[in-house]
């Protein structure tokens, strides 16, 4: 049985994130979504809100959702992950994620699967969604409906 850990800030989860996660469900026996807590940043959605959004997106029991801070490879080891999954949108993502994949393998031997986001989602990022939303733009096609509802509740 292969367990994959897909880490990210997911603030908020986008259709691009969901695309990568749904496709990962087809590739691995178990999928854990790791929501990163970055103490140096003020999140738009709290850790608990982001975790609840994933439950709303996938339902109970489809994916396990955890929050974490600290070294990713330590978290992966702690949850028994065999592989890390990272989504790629464009070339800049590739360079960064390759460096991280090499470092993670160097530290613990864990492999990273780099999964390209589907073409229709390549331009979507959480920061872009937040910016468009703050300026009053329509983000309905960029995020799952449960995320859109949570955004609207913050207006």
Residues with a known catalytic role: 17, 41, 89, 126
Residue pair 15/43 in contact by the 8 Å Cβ criterion: no
As a three-state string, the secondary structure of 104-118 is HHHHHCCEEEEEECC
Closest by CA position to 64, among listed 23, 21, 97, 126: 21
Residue pair 87/115 in contact by the 8 Å Cβ criterion: yes
70: alpha, beta or left? (left if phi > 0; alpha if psi -120 to 50): left
Angstrom distances, CA of residue 94 to CA of 5, 22, 80, 101:
18, 20, 25, 10
Residue pair 8/75 in contact by the 8 Å Cβ criterion: no
């Amino acid at each position: 049985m292969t367990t994959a850990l897909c880490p990210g800030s997911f603030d908020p989860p986008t259709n691009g994130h969901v695309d990568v996660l749904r496709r990962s469900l087809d590739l691995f026996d178990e999928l854990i979504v790791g929501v990163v807590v970055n103490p140096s940043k003020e999140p738009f959605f709290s850790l608990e809100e982001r975790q609840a959004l994933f439950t709303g997106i996938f339902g109970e029991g489809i994916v396990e959702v955890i929050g974490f801070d600290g070294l990713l490879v330590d978290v992966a080891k702690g949850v028994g992950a065999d592989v890390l999954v990272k989504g790629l949108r464009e070339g800049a993502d590739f360079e960064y994620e390759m460096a991280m994949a090499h470092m993670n393998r160097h530290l613990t031997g864990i492999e990273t699967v780099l999964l390209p986001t589907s073409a229709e989602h390549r331009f979507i990022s959480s920061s872009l969604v937040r910016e468009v939303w703050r300026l009053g733009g329509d983000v309905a096609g960029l995020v799952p409906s449960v995320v859109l509802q949570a955004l609207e509740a913050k207006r």
